[in-house]
Amino acid sequence: MLVATFPVGTLQCNCSIIACPETKEAAVIDPGGDPDEIVNLCKEHGLNVKYLLHTHAHFDHILGSRAVKEKTGAKICLHKGDQWLYDNLAMQCGLFGMKSDTPLPVDNYLNDEEELQIGKLKTKILHTPGHTPGSTCFSLNEHLFAGDTLFKQSIGRTDLWGGSFDEIIASIKNKLFKLDDSTEVIPGHGENTTIWSEKKKNPFVS
Ligand SMILES: [Zn+2]
Ligand SMILES: [Zn+2]
């Protein structure tokens, strides 16, 4: 499996590219900005981008989606619980003094516990509400793409639109902490961690 993670956009959202080495089918997780960089990296590796997977619809995770879709034809995927945030991209950006293009329609809704096939890889969708109602994590082999639900020794904000502290704690404890302790967590911002390390050291949930 090929995996690349790099920060994009003004809020340095971690964007990841996951790809099946045999078929070259790929998915981009959280194309939050710098669409040219994302598309060029996919081209360099000869990847056929099938899905744009969004952990949630805060603007810093979806700002590059339109441009990446226009250049790759990939399907825009989001949990239905965040449709209203997605539709209000311009309002979100306005609060940060930024402008945005109108987002393209969502192609596929992400459903809890479903698996998505990317070439010969399978990624499992985990609906983890709390940071936003439609927050979703993606589990792929020994990796977890956690969006803004779980950070290294921290958790996502719950004081924004539709956030819930009780829900994010339940999502982390009941879903993410059920994964293997050795799972590498790739959060939406900042450094990687592991499930084991967060169980021991995260002050919000340990
Ligand atoms: Zn967020
Ligand atoms: Zn974020």
Rounded CA-CA distance 168/126 in Å is 13
How far, in Å, from the CA of 46 to the mean position of ligand 1? 30
How far, in Å, from the CA of 129 to the mean position of ligand 1? 11
Rounded CA-CA distance 201/199 in Å is 6
How far, in Å, from the CA of 53 to the mean position of ligand 1? 14
* 11-59 pLDDT per residue, tens: 999 999 999 999 999 999 999 999 999 999 999 999 999 999 999 999 9
Dihedral over alpha carbons 140, 143, 147, 153 (to 10 degrees)? 150
How far, in Å, from the CA of 41 to the mean position of ligand 2? 22
**Ligand having the closest approach to the CA of 136:** 1
At 143, list the tokens: 């990796």
* 137-152 pLDDT per residue, tens: 999 999 999 999 999 9
What residue ranges define each of the domains in the chain, with the CATH number in brackets?
2-201 (3.60.15.10)
User: What pLDDT, on the 0 to 100 scale, is given for residue 3?
Assistant: 76
Q: How confident is the model at residue 1 (pLDDT cuts 50, 70, 90)?
A: low
Q: Is the pLDDT of residue 99 over 90?
A: no
* 103-140 pLDDT per residue, tens: 999 999 999 999 999 999 999 999 999 999 999 999 99
How far, in Å, from the CA of 196 to the mean position of ligand 1? 23
How far, in Å, from the CA of 13 to the mean position of ligand 2? 6
Q: In what order do the strands lie in the sheet with 115-118?
A: 115-118, 121-127, 136-140, 143-147, 184-187, 193-194
Rounded CA-CA distance 48/202 in Å is 37
Yes or no: say if 31 and 4 are a contact pair by the CB < 8 Å rule.
Answer: no
* 164-205 pLDDT per residue, tens: 999 999 999 999 999 999 999 999 999 999 999 999 999 999
How far, in Å, from the CA of 185 to the mean position of ligand 1? 16
Q: Which residues pair with 137 in a beta bridge?
A: 126
How far, in Å, from the CA of 115 to the mean position of ligand 2? 24
Phi, psi (deg, nearest 5) at residue 7: -75, 140
